[in-house]
Amino acid sequence: MPKTKTENCDICLKEVLDDCQALLCDKCNIWKHKECLSMSNKTYLKLSKSNDDWICGKCKTKDGPGFVSQAKRDYTLADVMAKLEEMDNKYKALFTKYNEQLKIN
């Protein structure tokens, strides 16, 4: 997705440069770095090459847990895979911290 001007990532607040790997939310029009989303290269490449809309997590849950926008009831496979990838990365980080605590204790 080509950037027309430099803007800041909504998560880390750092500048999103032309050579950065980042996605633009099709609902709020705000950029997010791939790394800030904890997204794998594989998922990022699929999403960045896709013509499907990509909606950030903030917009998907803007009105509370379980909120599903009327405009976005049908999730694409890329949406589901991106969410699974995000959950997997969080699980791995928690499991690593758990093992570190076991060693300390």
pLDDT tens sequence across 50-105: 888 888 888 877 654 444 444 445 677 888 888 899 999 999 999 999 999 999 88
Does the predicted TM-score (pTM) go above 0.75? Answer: no
Rg over CA atoms, the chain: 16
Which of 25, 22, 12 lies closest to 62, judged by CA?
A: 25
Span 7-104: which CATH code?
3.30.40.10
Which of 32, 38, 40 lies closest to 14, judged by CA?
A: 32
List the structure tokens of 49.
């090459």
Instruction: Say which DSSP state 73 is in.
Output: -
pLDDT in tens, 12-50: 889 998 888 999 988 888 899 999 998 988 889 888 888
Q: Residue 35 burial (CB < 10 Å; 0-12/13-18/19+)? A: middle
